Amino acid sequence: MIARAGAGPLRRLVVLRHAKSDWPAGVPDHKRPLAARGRRDAPAAGRALAEIDCLPDLALCSTAVRARQTWDLASGQWGTPPPVRHDPRLYAAEVSDLLTVVHEVPTEVETLLLVGHNPGLEELVLELAEDSLDDALDEVKVKFPTSAIAVLAWHGTTWQALAPGTALLTDMIVPRGKKGGGKK
């Protein structure tokens, strides 16, 4: 059963936390790049979204370097990536900020991808999800680690209708890339 925010098509909000970042000395937080593990995990996130047939119509990405690199590596796994908008409001955003950005999404977008940061993304998933399939909601409550993907499904005629408790968390995935170019 999918929660209903009203009549309208099935919509999906895909939430992707940036991949593991590095902490180089003297580099401001906004400019921190991905760590080696993050450069492995971000493409795995892109592959995971393709495997569950959850490619977005539009992506909204934080302007932070680690989020932009996550987007580039994840979307590089798809034949034709969707349009992306880099939005500074997604950096260090709280739930209310994230919802403001989501509510501005055009009606024709049915699957939206947000690439950003914790704790805001984790809190957004917990705020929007009324329930989940399997134990996905419990997993998010325990931890929403780097490269985590949460897929929220709901019905609505516009993105403005997405509100707390109106979505079903259908997937919670934490993809990990392999060291050594795929060797075990």
Q: pLDDT tens across 58-93, in order?
A: 999 999 999 999 999 999 999 999 999 999 999 999
Q: Which of 170, 173, 94 has the alpha carbon at shortest distance from 127?
A: 94
> What confidence score (pLDDT) does residue 179 get?
80
Q: Within 10 A of 183 (CB to CB), how many other CB atoms are there? A: 6
Q: Give 38's contacts (C-beta < 8 A, 6+ positions apart).
A: 18, 19, 20, 21, 22, 66, 69, 70, 146, 147
> What confidence score (pLDDT) does residue 6 get?
57
d(CA 160, CA 63): 23
List, as one string, the DSSP characters of 137-152: HHHHHH---TT-EEEE
> What confidence score (pLDDT) does residue 134 get?
86
Question: Side chain identity at 142, as an amino acid letter?
Answer: V
d(CA 37, CA 22): 9
> What confidence score (pLDDT) does residue 12 get?
97
> What confidence score (pLDDT) does residue 4 get?
46
> What confidence score (pLDDT) does residue 73 get?
98
> What confidence score (pLDDT) does residue 9 get?
87
Structure tokens at 152: 């929220």
d(CA 158, CA 7): 10
Which residues, given as ranges, of the chain have pLDDT below 50? 1-5, 182-184
Structure tokens at 178: 């392999």
> What confidence score (pLDDT) does residue 181 get?
55
